[in-house]
Structures are given as structure tokens and as C-alpha cells.
DNA sequence: CTCGGTCAAGGATAC
DNA sequence: GTATCCTTGACCGAG
């Protein structure tokens, strides 16, 4: 099963997400700020359920929700967006749509969520980011948060130990949603697999990151172990093509036929494949065609 | 209307 | 320490 992330280019009016900035909001009075934030959140959540409907109509049952549905969610702590009736209604629509249509959803906290940072304020903020994702996940029925290990400061071993220690301090509710993904600069598939096995969480294999960064490990030898980390859930891998060349870390607009074949050969019927490319759903439709 | 500078946030690197 | 890059896409606002 193929899926795509966030933006849906096929939907002109409902396929994208709004946002705002602190700088802009600071020019408004408090009530206008909240009004603006609410309006953006409701629109973004509404668009997400529209995208889910579009997915079902187009035979797509795998989708990653945007992390930026609630604007400035971890900044405006006095704005209790999760107590807003309109927002709750929209979240419930997403939950119902994904469950009724059988769409497997996930989220992927961005680069600012560095749980293993050496800076305590960064760790605290990362936990806030995870709490936000968890809260939104609970309301929308999402059960999977895909994360990178993060910083490599102090060396890989120390950095992974920091990750484990901080992971263990998280709420159980968050821990049961987390999965870890290998990255393209530091933590290899083997590094992340070992960490996932130790922590008892699923591993998302990113094939492009593996291509950019590996220590010669043989993926076919890791395949069964990776699947095992998912227990009864459907394992997932990420696929993208390099923009300018194979190991270019920048993502291309589309997936090359060669990369798609490589991924499907590896995945068989055992893995869902999440596409990461600029043209999103359009790239997926091209592959299916 | 169009286009470009700007934006909460981290990390790594080079100087 | 500080500057700069990596890198996303939506937005404001100048023209």
C-alpha cells in the first residue's frame, strides 16, 4: 500500500494548510490572536478530513497528517485549543473518516523535536512538541508518531543513551505511539534497529536515508528483524528519490521507476510505503499509473 | 496581482 | 562565540 504526506495537490482548495507567525500575531490584540489561531486550526483540520475523503475515493489508504494543523500549538500555552468545540468536532471528523474508510494515518514531528539534545531547554521543548502531537493524535485516532533519534553530540553511543534515558521519562501514552526512523547523516538503519529493539518500539526504514548513510549493512539481513519490531502492526518504510543524483539528500519531485522497483522488491506485501517527494499525491498517482 | 523577504523552534560546521 | 547553511511552504506587504 502506497501513501503520501501532508499536502494533497489534487485538491486545489482543500489540499494545503494555513499558518501564521508570532511576529504577525503580536500586532493584534489578544482576542484577535485567538480568533486567528482558531480559524486556521479549524480550516486545517477540515482540509485534513477532505484529504482523507479524497484518499478513499482514489484507493489510497495511507496518509501522514501535517504537524502544523494547530498553528503555534506549543507556543501559545494559554490557548487551550483542545477545549474548543469547533476544533474537537473537526478532530472527530478526521477520526471517523480514517476509521470508516480504513485509512492508516500517522504523524512525523519535525526537525525541532530533538529528544536527545544536550540542552535541557531543547529537551523540554521537544517533550512539549510530543505532548502536542499526542493530544492531537488522541483526538484524531492517530496511533503512530515517527521520530528521528536526533543529535549526535558526544558520539553516537552517548547520543543513543541520551535518547533512551529521555524516552523512558515520557508518558506511556506517548511511548506507545513512537517509532524511530534511520536518518541520512548519523544514525544508520542498524543503529536505529538496535535502539528500537531495546526500547520495544517499531522501526521505520527509510530507504533513501539508508542509501545516503549506511555502514555497509545488508538490508535483506535486517528485514525480518525490522518487521518484528512492528509486532502485529503493518510495518512501514519511507521512499524518496534524490533531487540531483541518487545520494542527494534533497528530495526529488517524483519517485524514479528504478527506486520504486527497488522499494517494492524489498517491501513485497509486508510493508506500507510512504512516499516523500515534492509532488506528493501526484507522484503517487503517477506510480500507480 | 505578483513577487520576494520573512518566519518559533536545532544542529553541525567553519571561522 | 558567531555567522551561515540546511531546508518548508505559506504569508504579509511593497510595488
**What is the rounded distance in angstroms from the CA atom of residue A182 to the CA atom of residue A240?**
14
Per-residue b or e along A47-82, where b marks 16 or more CB atoms closer than 10 Å to that residue's CB: bbbbbbbbbbeeebbbbbbbbebbbbbbebeebebe
Q: Is residue A44 part of a domain?
A: yes
| A21, part of any domain | yes
**Is position A102 within any domain?**
yes
Dihedral of alpha carbons A254, A267, A210, A5, sign = positive
Euclidean distance between CA atoms A65 and A84, whole angstroms = 20
Verify if strand B has an atom below 7 Å from the CB of A121. yes
**Edge-first strand listing for the sheet containing A272-275:** A104-106, A62-64, A2-5, A272-275, A236-239, A203-206, A178-181, A145-148
d(CA A242, CA A250): 6
Q: CA of A47 and C1' of B13: distance in angstroms?
A: 40
Is the CB atom of residue A117 positioned under 7 angstroms from any atom of strand B? yes
Whether residue A51 lies inside any domain: the answer is: yes
| Residue A113 lies inside a defined structural domain of this protein | no
Counting the structural domains of chain A, the total is: 1
Distance, angstroms, CA A150 to C1' B10? 9
Look at residue A177 and tell me if it is in a domain. no
Asked, for residue A258, whether it belongs to a domain, the answer is no
Q: Domain range holding A101? A: 8-106
pLDDT given for residue A13 in this prediction: 83
Chain C nucleotides reached by a protein CB under 7 Å: 6-13
pLDDT attached to residue A250: 87
Q: For the packed helices A189-199 and A156-168, what is the interaxial angle rounded to 10 degrees?
A: 30
Q: What is the pLDDT of residue A243?
A: 86
Q: Is residue A46 part of a domain?
A: yes
Contact flag, residue A152 CB and nucleic strand B, below 7 A: yes
Q: Which residues of chain A have pLDDT under 70?
A: none
Asked if strand B contacts A119 at the CB level, meaning under 7 A, the answer is yes
Residue nearest to nucleotide B9 (CA to C1'): A112
Given this model, what pLDDT does residue A77 score? 81
pLDDT, residue A78, reads: 79
Amino acid at each position: 500500500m502506497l501513501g503520501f504526506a501532508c499536502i494533497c495537490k489534487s485538491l486545489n482548495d482543500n489540499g494545503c494548510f494555513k499558518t501564521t507567525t508570532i511576529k504577525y500575531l503580536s500586532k493584534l490584540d489578544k482576542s484577535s490572536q485567538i480568533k486567528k489561531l482558531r480559524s486556521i486550526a479549524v480550516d486545517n483540520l477540515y482540509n485534513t478530513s477532505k484529504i482523507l475523503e479524497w484518499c478513499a475515493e482514489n484507493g489510497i489508504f495511507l496518509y501522514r497528517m501535517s504537524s502544523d494543523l494547530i498553528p503555534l500549538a506549543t507556543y501559545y500555552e494559554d490557548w487551550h485549543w483542545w477545549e474548543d468545540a469547533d476544533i474537537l468536532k473537526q478532530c472527530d471528523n478526521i477520526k471517523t473518516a480514517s476509521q470508516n474508510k480504513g485509512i492508516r494515518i500517522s504523524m512525523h514531528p519535525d526537525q525541532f523535536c530533538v529528544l536527545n539534545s544536550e540542552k535541557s531547554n531543547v529537551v523540554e521543548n521537544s517533550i512539549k512538541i510530543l505532548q502536542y502531537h499526542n493530544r492531537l493524535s488522541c483526538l484524531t485516532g492517530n496511533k503512530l508518531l515517527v521520530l528521528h533519534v536526533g543529535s549526535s553530540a558526544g558520539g553516537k553511543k552517548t547520543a543513543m543513551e541520551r535518547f533512551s534515558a529521555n524516552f523512558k521519562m515520557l508518558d506511556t501514552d506517548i511511548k506507545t505511539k513512537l517509532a524511530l526512523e534511520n536518518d541520512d547523516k548519523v544514525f544508520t538503519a542498524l543503529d536505529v534497529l538496535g535502539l528500537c529493539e531495546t526500547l520495544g518500539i517499531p522501526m521505520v526504514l527509510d530507504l533513501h536515508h539508508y542509501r545516503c548513510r549506511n555502514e555497509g549493512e545488508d538490508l535483506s539481513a535486517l528485514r525480518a528483524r525490522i518487521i518484528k519490531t512492528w509486532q502485529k502492526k503493518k510495518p512501514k518504510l519511507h521512499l524518496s528519490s534524490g533531487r540531483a543524483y541518487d545520494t542527494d539528500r534533497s528530495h526529488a519531485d517524483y519517485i524514479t521507476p528504478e527506486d520504486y522497483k527497488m522499494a517494492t522488491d524489498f517491501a513485497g506485501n509486508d510493508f506500507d510505503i510512504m512516499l516523500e517527494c515534492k509532488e506528493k499525491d501526484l507522484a503517487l498517482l503517477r506510480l500507480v499509473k
